[in-house]
Amino acid sequence: MSVKLSILIPAYNPGIRLRILMDQLKPQMETHPDAEIIVVDDGSSEDIRWVAEYPQTIYYHKPNGGEPTARNALMLLADGKFIQFLDADDEVYGDALDIIYSNIEQGYDYVSYEFDTDHDRKRSYHNYGQVMVNCAMWGYTFRKAIFGNELFNPDLKVGCDTDILQRILHEGLLHKHDSRAFYNYRWDNNDKSLCHRHLRGEI
pTM above 0.75, yes or no: yes
The helix or strand, by DSSP H or E, that contains position 85, with its residue range, turns out to be strand 82-85
Buried b (16+ CB within 10 A) or exposed e, 95-121: ebbebbbebbeeebbbbbbbbbbeeee
Structural domains in the chain, sorted by start:
5-199 (3.90.550.10)
Kindly give the parts of the chain with pLDDT less than 70: 1, 188-203
For residue 19, the cross-strand partners are none
In this prediction, residue 121 carries a pLDDT of 87
**Residue 25, Cβ neighbours under 10 Å: how many?**
24
114-169 pLDDT, tens digit per residue, is: 999 999 988 877 778 889 999 999 999 999 999 999 999 999 978 999 999 999 99
What gap in Å lies between CA 131 and CA 173, rounded to an integer?
9
